[in-house]
Amino acid sequence: MSTSKVKCIGILTGGGDCPGLNAVIRAVVKTAVLKGVDVVGIQDGFLGLVENSMKVLGPEDVSNILTRGGTILGSSNKDNPFHLLERGKSGKVRFHDRGEEIPKNLKRLGIEALVVLGGDGSMTVAQKLSRKGVKIVGVPKTIDNDLVGTDQTFGHDTAVSIATESIDRLHTVADSHHRVIIVEVMGRYAGWLALRAGLAGGGDIILIPEMPYEEKKVGEAILERRKRGKKSSIVVIAEGAHPKGGKMVIDQINPLSVERIRLGGISRQLAHHLEARSGVDTRAVILGHVVRGGTPTAFDRNLATLFGVHAMDLVLKGQFGRMVALQKNQMASVPLSFVGGKTRKVPLNDNLILAAKSIGVEFGV
Ligand code: F6P
């Protein structure tokens, strides 16, 4: 039986999906059931809280989902309940603040606390709801690994593995054609994914947002390799990387979305410039959402399970307004107010950067 006063919780997944979301949901539901706490799954992120779209989750709902990618609850990275886009019959677009409805809805439904799985945007909304009295525990997810307060988010390890395998495959294409292949990976404004997959995949040049590069130096590094008999080169570039004094490449701006800026395309721009500069056959490959899909790695399944169990621990102890975290290999938690609106970037003295430099990987600086 539960030692806490909480008898019913809600759980939702906000923001972009990532591998391991289902593993967290499973851990939360299994722990809750054993403690005599009911769990309600809220559909499509915070939207389900205003539209009352939800269903009770029992053990049968979370059976066989440990290995499944995506989220059984659905997600949304464009619906902020405090600034919710609604289209009238005429097609006219308006924003409504429907955040006020959420505490009332939860009370009416008997949901006493919420477990919110999400990234920076979701933690910001969670913090706002928490200030309105909603009891919340956050769980950090994102392939980008850019959330402050935790050493790692779940989903990141899987994305690194998929990106690494893709780079492995592109080596043979580059070798066969004596080409330069520029592999672009997601990661938003942080270079964790590019750095970790780039080094694991034997990338020759790694370009990340934290280290604005000089195109001239990237070109020189490729020609230098050719002089040494290396006819192909692999460049791994983060979507947020940019030349010194230059700008990030934006694929699209959607003023109506919470995530207004969609990055993407820097690899194509760099490929054109490098080919023109060096005369070497160059291709750009954008991995995009591929790294977000499919089965989580064993590491991510275990991290997700640890996070889910720890989140329930906080719920049962009545410790709300916090996000669970991994710190120095131990479960910990940080206040939600510490997380929102910040980006955890790769420090320039990160061990992987230093190791990469030691073995001759170029960063274009
Ligand atoms: O935050 C995760 C992420 O995959 C980023 O790496 C990327 O910039 C963004 O989401 C893509 O968002 P969307 O799924 O809306 O295209």
d(CA 211, CA 309): 37
**Residue whose CA lies nearest to ligand 1 atom number 16:** 262
CATH class of 157-291: alpha beta
Judge if 8-154+296-338 and 157-291 fold alike in CATH terms.
yes
d(CA 66, CA 64): 6
Looking at residue 4, its pLDDT comes to 60
Sorted by where each begins, the domain ranges of the chain are: 8-154+296-338, 157-291
Of the residues 17, 124, 144, which should be mutated to test ligand 1's pocket, given the most ligand atoms within 8 Å of the CB? Answer: 144
Looking at residue 1, its pLDDT comes to 47
* 350 catalytic per annotation: no
Residue 251, helix vs strand vs coil: strand
Task: Give 296-336 pLDDT, tens digit per residue.
Answer: 999 999 999 999 999 999 999 999 999 999 999 999 999 99
**Residue whose CA lies nearest to ligand 1 atom number 13:** 16
Are the C-beta atoms of 140 and 164 separated by less than 8 Å? no
State pTM to two decimals: 0.96
Looking at residue 278, its pLDDT comes to 87
CB-based contacts of 189: which residues, under 8 Å, 6+ apart?
146, 209, 240, 248, 343, 345
From 168, 163, 173, select the one nearest 237 (Cα to Cα): 163
Ligand 1 atom closest to Cα of residue 187: 6
Are the C-beta atoms of 75 and 16 separated by less than 8 Å? yes
99 residue type, one letter: G
CB-based contacts of 233: which residues, under 8 Å, 6+ apart?
174, 180, 181, 204, 205, 221, 222, 225
Looking at residue 2, its pLDDT comes to 45
Nearest-5° Cα angle at 92, 91 to 98 = 110
Which residue(s) pair with 10 in the sheet?
40, 114
Looking at residue 130, its pLDDT comes to 97
Residues lining ligand 1, CB < 6 A? Answer: 16, 77, 119, 142-144, 186-188, 239, 259, 262-263, 292
Which residue(s) pair with 13 in the sheet?
117
Looking at residue 45, its pLDDT comes to 96
Dist. CA 183 → ligand 1 center (Å): 16
Q: Any alpha helices (H) in the chain, and if so which ranges? A: 21-34, 47-51, 101-109, 120-131, 156-177, 192-200, 215-227, 266-278, 298-317, 351-358
Q: How far is CA 180 from the centre of its chain?
A: 28
Looking at residue 86, its pLDDT comes to 85
Query: CA of 243: how far to CAs of 254, 261, 285, 294, in Å?
Result: 24, 19, 19, 33
Place of tokens 């477990």: 115
Ligand 1 atom closest to Cα of residue 264: 8
Are the C-beta atoms of 309 and 30 separated by less than 8 Å? no
CATH class of 8-154+296-338: alpha beta
Are the C-beta atoms of 274 and 180 separated by less than 8 Å? yes
Residues of the chain short of pLDDT 70, as ranges, are: 1-4
